[in-house]
Amino acid sequence: MHDIGGGTGTGTEERFEVAGITRVEGEGSLRLVVRDGLVTEAHLAIFEAPRYFEKLVVGRTPDEVLDIVARICGICPIAYQMSAVHAFEDLLGVTVDPAVRALRRLLYCGEWIESHALHVYLLHAPDFLGCANVVELAARDRASVERGLALKRVGNEIVATLGGRPIHPVSVRVGGFSRVPTRTELEPLRRALDAALLAAQATVDWVSGFEAPVFEREERFVALHHPDEYPMNHGRITSSDGLDLAPGDWGAAFAEEQVPWSHALQARMADRVPYLLGPAARVTLAGDRLHPAARAALDRTGLAGSIARNPNWSIAARAVELVHATAEAIEILDGYTPPERPAEPWTPRPGVAAWSTEAPRGLLFHRYELDERGRVASAAIVPPTSQNQVAIEADLTAFAPSVLDLPHADATHRLEQLIRSYDPCISCATHFLDLRIEPGATGEAQP
Amino acid sequence: MTGPLPPPYVRIVACGNADRGDDGVAVAALATLLPTLSRDLLATIEVRRCEELRVDDLADLPEGTACLVVDAVAGPPPGTVIRRGLEDLASDLTCTPRSSHQLPFDIVLGLAGVLHGGPIRGSFVGLAGQGFGYGSPLSRAVRSALPAFRDAIEAEARALAGIRPGA
């Protein structure tokens, strides 16, 4: 493990522009302006079209919402279903069977595995190894890429087995699942996970040998924290500087606002100090709740401090979480006994449903107002990438001076690499307009 | 007693979400095309249905098997049938497969080629869609073009399998 650095540069004005950031999910661009060695503008512009999911769910029942919000993302659909279902169950007073609770964690483990394997191997690792993309990496190191694809496949299989299909699953219901698997149906997963755990541990060893660009800053991290388990579906919203909120009280400390250069709302705390979500935040704030196999892997790397200080080392945090998710999935399968019934009954009621869970990319908050019929009257969905934008731009501002002495193309690449380290999911993040269609009107979009 | 089935000559990969309007056109076309195909052609093909084109769908192609990717596309006028070689499509910016791909098409194809041990041989047949909304039916433009789309799929499958039309 080595760090590589750049120098400090000065100049009249230099612009770094990446029209389409590659190896991220969705479409965004970078615009960074440096005058006399100081960054005067650092914008992660998200220009992918808004998707109006918060309006699509209006008038829908809670169970319909679960299927609709799964469509927000092809990589992290479980996260959207989990935040929504826990919000509804909290409002409706539904307590699920312990086996259902475990199956939901297993489902989340599957999503973390496929999402983290995708980012570590196919999107982020090429940056560290001097490859233009994963095709070049596969030509050079086929075994590693095959290991990543095998891990991703196991994650997809978990989601498909529990959710009905690997992308946009359909089984999650308020109170449980539409159907739960038998032990026999889970046996192929159990066999596959033994190899996956070894692959995850090999991933930690692989990435800890990478060289990361030198960059350190003090970050405010935000993540769920639970006294008994690594955070996924339950826990309180905590921060590295003492925040402590119930999972539905996100709005008490955070608010969204629009900026001119992004279709994604940016979330801020009252003091406007940036905060960061995701694997590095979880490993830093909840590392004491990692599975022992993952904790041992993290300790073996000696990178816990670097993960907290240098965003480029988020790849190591993701690798550690791969170990956690595979190890926990094995334990859940070994202890699984199907519940007596797949879902608990519930009765519609009006009120506010709100909850946060830990998506692969960090805290995902949902809030729904249900009307007298128990249907959605309004919705707010706050994805992790829209929350991370401010921190990404702040980090770009702090990091850019260190690459000014590099050739322009190399400096631009380093900036793009820094953005990739946050694993932004731009497609998830894009929502910014309050779309109102008046009866008899052709449609009007209002900010 | 019979031995194992020989590998197919053509793997047809049907991409798209059936419940997202015109994104489901590949599934709709194949559902109505397969029962009409001749036995000799059916004996040479296998069909995989996937929402997105995955590396795994291409990398494990048996030796000698070609791949026919069928999907909706965005870009050309709705109802336009697109036929391309797979490698040509990766560099064609005038139309893009419409299904949600976690990796860009050229990366999927390139990575599959490396893992497969050589370029993926095959073709792409697409139909330009008009609307991709949740729960929407196929658009009128796409419904009108379905016969031509089915013909193009069959013709491409026959060409890849080396079977003459009408045989």
- Residue A347 identity: T
CB contact under 8 A, B134 and A68: yes
Tokens read off for A212? 């990361």
Residue B109 lies in a domain: yes
Tokens read off for B38? 């001749």
Total domains, chain B: 1
Pairing of β A254-257 and β A266-269: antiparallel
Percent of chain A scored above 70 by pLDDT?
A: 90
Residue B57 lies in a domain: yes
Q: Which helix (H) or strand (E) holds B45?
A: strand B45-50
For A67-107, how does the pLDDT look when each residue is reduced to its tens digit (9 = 90+)? 999 988 888 999 999 999 999 999 999 999 999 999 999 99
Distance of CA A20 to the CA centre of its chain: 21
Select the residue from A52, A167, A428 to test the B interface by mutation, using most B Cβ atoms within 10 A. A167
Query: What is the distance between the alpha carbons of residues A94 and A97, in angstroms, rounded to a whole number?
Result: 10
Residues of A within 8 A of B111 (CB-CB) are 122, 134-135, 138, 145
ipTM rounded to 2 decimals: 0.79
**pLDDT band (50, 70, 90) for residue A47:** low
Is the per-residue pLDDT at A435 higher than 80? no
Q: How far, CA to CA in Å, does A439 sit from each of A56, A299, A447, B12?
A: 17, 61, 19, 46
Which among B52, B56, B111 is the nearest to A74, CB-wise? B52
Query: What is the distance between the alpha carbons of residues A393 and A30, in angstroms, rounded to a whole number?
Result: 9
Q: Could you tell me if B100 lies within 8 Å of chain A, comparing CB atoms?
A: yes
User: Is A51 in a helix, a strand, or coil?
Assistant: coil
* Predicted pLDDT of residue A430: 54
Query: What is the distance between the alpha carbons of residues A334 and A189, in angstroms, rounded to a whole number?
Result: 11
User: Is A138 in a helix, a strand, or coil?
Assistant: helix
Query: What is the distance between the alpha carbons of residues B90 and B10, in angstroms, rounded to a whole number?
Result: 20
CB contact under 8 A, A133 and B17: no
Quickly tell me which residue has 């496949």 as its tokens: A153
Select the residue from A22, A60, A135, A420 to test the B interface by mutation, using most B Cβ atoms within 10 A. A135
Instruction: Report which of residues A434 and A13 the model is more confident about.
Output: A13
Query: What is the distance between the alpha carbons of residues B158 and A364, in angstroms, rounded to a whole number?
Result: 49
Q: Which helix (H) or strand (E) holds A371?
A: none
CATH number of A2-438: 1.10.645.10
Which among A135, A166, A167 is the nearest to B107, CB-wise? A135
Q: Beta-strand (E) ranges in A301-432?
A: 351-359, 362-370, 376-382
Residues of A within 8 A of B51 (CB-CB) are 74, 165-168
Query: What is the distance between the alpha carbons of residues A58 and A54, in angstroms, rounded to a whole number?
Result: 7
Q: Strands across the sheet with A222-225, in order?
A: A222-225, A236-239, A244-245
- Put simply, whether the predicted model's pTM sits higher than 0.80 gets the answer yes
Q: Could you tell me if B74 lies within 8 Å of chain A, comparing CB atoms?
A: no
Query: Nearest residue of A to residue B134 by CA position?
Result: A68
Residue B146 lies in a domain: yes
DSSP classification of residue A287: G
Query: What is the distance between the alpha carbons of residues A221 and A211, in angstroms, rounded to a whole number?
Result: 24
Burial class of A356 by CB neighbour count within 10 A (0 to 12, 13 to 18, 19+): buried
Rounded to 5 degrees, φ, ψ at A443 are 125, 140
CB contact under 8 A, A135 and B51: no
Q: How far, CA to CA in Å, does A223 sit from each of A312, A363, A367, B143?
A: 19, 6, 18, 48
A26-34 mean pLDDT: 80
Residue B3 lies in a domain: no
Q: What are residue A45's DSSP bridge partners?
A: A29
Residue B54 lies in a domain: yes
Q: Which helix (H) or strand (E) holds A98?
A: helix A98-117
Which among A71, A122, A168 is the nearest to B103, CB-wise? A122
Helix, strand, coil share (%) of chain B residues, nearest 5: 40, 20, 40
Burial class of A30 by CB neighbour count within 10 A (0 to 12, 13 to 18, 19+): buried
Residues of B within 8 A of A75 (CB-CB) are 102
Q: Give the residue among B72, B53, B67, B55 at the shortest CA–CA distance from B128.
A: B72
* Predicted pLDDT of residue B114: 93
User: Is A237 in a helix, a strand, or coil?
Assistant: strand
Q: Could you tell me if B58 lies within 8 Å of chain A, comparing CB atoms?
A: no
Query: What is the distance between the alpha carbons of residues A305 and A310, in angstroms, rounded to a whole number?
Result: 8
Query: Nearest residue of B to residue A139 by CA position?
Result: B114
CB contact under 8 A, A135 and B102: no
For B35-75, how does the pLDDT look when each residue is reduced to its tens digit (9 = 90+)? 999 999 999 999 998 888 889 889 889 888 999 999 998 88
Smallest CA–CA distance, residue B51 to chain A, in Å, is 7
Domain boundaries, chain A: 2-438
Q: Could you tell me if B114 lies within 8 Å of chain A, comparing CB atoms?
A: yes
* Predicted pLDDT of residue A431: 46
Name every residue whose Cβ is closer than 8 Å to that of residue A191 and which is 6 or more positions away in sequence: none
CB contact under 8 A, A138 and B103: no
For A99-157, how does the pLDDT look when each residue is reduced to its tens digit (9 = 90+)? 999 999 999 999 999 999 999 999 999 999 999 999 999 999 999 999 999 999 999 99
Residues of A within 8 A of B114 (CB-CB) are 135, 138-139, 142, 145
Residue B4 lies in a domain: no
Which among A138, A153, A167 is the nearest to B114, CB-wise? A138
* Predicted pLDDT of residue A260: 79
CB A344 within 8 A of CB A176: yes
Structural domain for B150, as ranges: 10-161
Residues of B within 8 A of A118 (CB-CB) are 102
Q: Could you tell me if B56 lies within 8 Å of chain A, comparing CB atoms?
A: yes
Which among A68, A142, A149 is the nearest to B55, CB-wise? A149
Query: What is the distance between the alpha carbons of residues B161 and B153, in angstroms, rounded to a whole number?
Result: 12
Percent of chain B scored above 70 by pLDDT?
A: 86
Q: Give the residue among A101, A177, A111 at the shortest CA–CA distance from A358.
A: A111
Half-sphere exposure of A266 (CA within 13 A, CB side): 24
Rounded to 5 degrees, φ, ψ at B109 are -65, -45
Residue B166 lies in a domain: no
CB A425 within 8 A of CB A80: no
The CA-to-CA distance between both ends of chain B, in Å, stands at 28
Which among A118, A139, A145 is the nearest to B102, CB-wise? A118
Residue B34 lies in a domain: yes
Number of Cβ pairs < 8 A linking chain A and chain B: 44
Residues of B within 8 A of A167 (CB-CB) are 51-52, 100
Which among A75, A135, A168 is the nearest to B114, CB-wise? A135
For A186-224, how does the pLDDT look when each residue is reduced to its tens digit (9 = 90+)? 999 999 999 999 999 999 999 999 999 999 999 999 999
The CATH number for B156's domain is 3.40.50.1450
Smallest CA–CA distance, residue B18 to chain A, in Å, is 12
CB contact under 8 A, A135 and B56: no
Q: Give the residue among B146, B161, B159 at the shortest CA–CA distance from B46.
A: B161
